[in-house]
Amino acid sequence: MKGFASFISWLFLPLFTPIYGLLLTLYLPVQSKSFVANESLFMIDPVAKYLFLLLFLVFIVLAPGMSFAVLRMNKTIRSFQMESKEERLTPIAIMTFYCMVLYLFLHFQGEGVLIPKIIKAMVLGGAIAGFIAYFITKKMKISLHGIGMGALFGFFYMYATGLEQVPVGMLISIVFLGGVVLSARLVLKAHSMKEISAGYLLGFATQIISIYFYP
């Protein structure tokens, strides 16, 4: 059981969930309520999709991952599991930094570059979640997996509201998947119910608020 829980924990590392969310919205064959590109991510040019995925891979996965490897080598963190809340502060700050860099990169593209606002808002929401999580972690070891899965659901939920037909089955599947991932963290005794609940709520709320109020 612990082997499966460990596999699930690695498969759904917080670094990976933005990629999963992007893949889901870019390639799920659904129709939007309009032909506005902000709502019709499936209709985006294939080359643009690859570029978005590449940017996310570099800024959200590779750059933080390499930074964590450096922290591990100089023993700032004892393991990639980051079992104590003190160990998590620097990695959380690094993730927040790269999220903010990616957001600024997307935000300040030229007017001729069409970047759906929901993608920019998703990245901004991730940066806000990281910023808040940094200060919460000083008091409590909030679940980063919880933040990731909550953000995944919040992002897809907001995307689904702009579709012609809401993919209820996919929404239920994401909620179920979140339950599996967070249950795995409980099985591994990495977090308490309070810590994973707080993480999920933070990830969900920051995505909902960022996307809803994004100008």
pLDDT at 86: 77
| Sites in the chain below the pLDDT cut of 70 | 31-40, 78-83, 110-113
Find out whether 129 and 142 touch, Cβ atoms under 8 Å: no
Q: What does DSSP assign to residue 32?
A: B
pLDDT at 87: 82
Instruction: Report the alpha-carbon distance of residue 149 to residue 210 in Å, rounded.
Output: 16
Residue 32, beta-bridge partner list:
163
pTM for the full model? 0.91
pLDDT at 37: 43
pLDDT at 214: 92
Instruction: Report the alpha-carbon distance of residue 88 to residue 92 in Å, rounded.
Output: 6
